[in-house]
Amino acid sequence: MRQLRHRRFTAVVALATLLLTAAPPTVASAGGRPDRQPGYHRVGYFTQWGIYGRAFTIKKLDASGAASRLTHLNYAFGNVSEDGRCYVDGGPGEGDAWADYQRPVPAEESVDGVADAPGQALNGNFGQLAKLKAKHPDLKVLISLGGWSWSTYFSNAARTDASRKAFVASCIDLYLKGNLPGSPGAAAGVFDGVDLDWEWPNWDGEPGNVIRPEDRENFTKLLAEFRRQLDAYGRTTGAHHPLTAFLPANPATMDAGYEGRKIFKYLDFGTVQGYDFHGGWEAVANQQSALRVPAGSPDNPDFSVEVAIDGWLDRGAPRGKLVLGIPFYGRGWTGVTGGGNGLFQPAAGPAPATYEAGYEDYKQLKTLAGNGYTVHRDLRAGHAWLFDGTTFWTYDDPAVVLQKMLYIRRTGLGGAMIWSLDGDDDNATLTKTIGLGLTTR
């Protein structure tokens, strides 16, 4: 009976999405705010390191059909130096120039089937991005700066007018103008814009990050400087160069680090963290990406997609400039006791996984359903989980993703963002699900 309900729910959500994509939304479905841009943004993060253990190449984005479903591709990540500059360094923990632009890509991994020649001006992922854009000319590629590990010195870069000018100029020079170390202009045209992934202004991120109270105001000033210099560069290229930012789900982090409405004056859009609400660092199995706070949640207040989006709306964000983050991975616990379906039960620790305890790609989790694990759903709260009596995984499957696409349409948001594309299966099932749900306004 549970499997029958699962199939019926999936079919109903799919039908609802098809009906919605066939007709434009009304002002009421957009929350009474006709401020949305034409078309939904469909943003995917490509991880630099995904080419190694996961063997996820840029060619797979094309071959799977994922690239044709995206409007923006964010390359993760670019580093920020202690003196506040964009830079690429092959040193441990500082960068991977080999993956970025030096590795000769063999024919079987190349987007166009042509192998890189060793020593040519542009190899590696950057060279493959250029080939991908040639096949998908409407796809915008952005360099994403920072991330969890490389936000250490953002505060230094944003601290003064002079430091902001120098930082922005260095990023445009390295990535948009393509002036790679030793190869001036080699990567010109690969990147169209910049995504700022500062985690977080005036708020704890990775231990060791530089944090200052003035980060809040300086983040806005940094965006203004990026917008000024990107527009100036655009006058020479005849193109608009997008500026986006990754934004937190925690309302307290929003207040500490961001000037609400002001930042959206400079951003094309902001991608909102829609995941990592809970994880194996906690002692209770929980949801990591629920649409709404589930009934019976042990935390009050708690996190959810709705809490995050409402938090930004309450602080003056335009609906059409909020892009919801969707996880292509799950969070897991093992040693779960207390019986039932495992939700909100005590756990011994993070679940064993392929690359990192407590973190598993969707393509691995999908194989567990019916293979010793039962799929559970909370339709009202909008989340799903797997449980085998001991190990618990919270994740987004196609039915949950479709439910979130309906939420995006109903609330008038700007689109969806994926972290990260290498978590999808070889058929790009989740990416295609997003494409289905957000094909048209």
What is the Cα–Cα distance from 8 to 380, expressed in whole angstroms? 15
> Which H or E run includes 19?
helix 2-21
**Residue 400, helix vs strand vs coil:** helix
Backbone angles phi, psi at 63, to 5 degrees: -65, -35
For the record, the structure tokens of 378 come out as 């909370």
Catalytic residues: 199
CA 86 – CA 77 distance, rounded (Å): 11
Cβ atoms < 10 Å from Cβ of 354:
12
Q: Is the distance from CB of 317 to CB of 261 less than 8 angstroms?
A: yes
Compute the radius of gyration of the chain from its Cα atoms: 21
CB 407, CB 305: distance < 8 Å? yes
Q: Which amino acid is at 156?
A: N
Question: Phi and psi dihedrals of 416, rounded to 5?
Answer: -130, 150
Indicate the SS3 state at residue 24. coil
Say if residues 420 and 325 touch (Cβ distance below 8 Å).
no
| Cβ count within 10 A of residue 78 | 25
State the DSSP string of 260-320.
GGGGGGT-SEEEEP-S-SS-TTSSB---SS-SSPPTT-SSSS---HHHHHHHHHHTT--GG
Backbone φ and ψ for 141, nearest 5 degrees, come out as -110, 125
CA dist., res. 172 & res. 179, Å (int) = 9
CB 377 within 8 A of CB 309: no
Residue type, 243: L
Look at residues 35, 70, 93 and name the one whose alpha carbon lies nearest to residue 413: 35
Task: Please give the structure tokens belonging to residue 55.
Answer: 């063997």
CB 343 within 8 A of CB 294: yes
The answer, yes or no, to whether the previous bond of 304 is cis (omega within 30 of 0) is no
Rounded to 5 degrees, what angle do the CA atoms 156, 161, 166 make?
Answer: 70
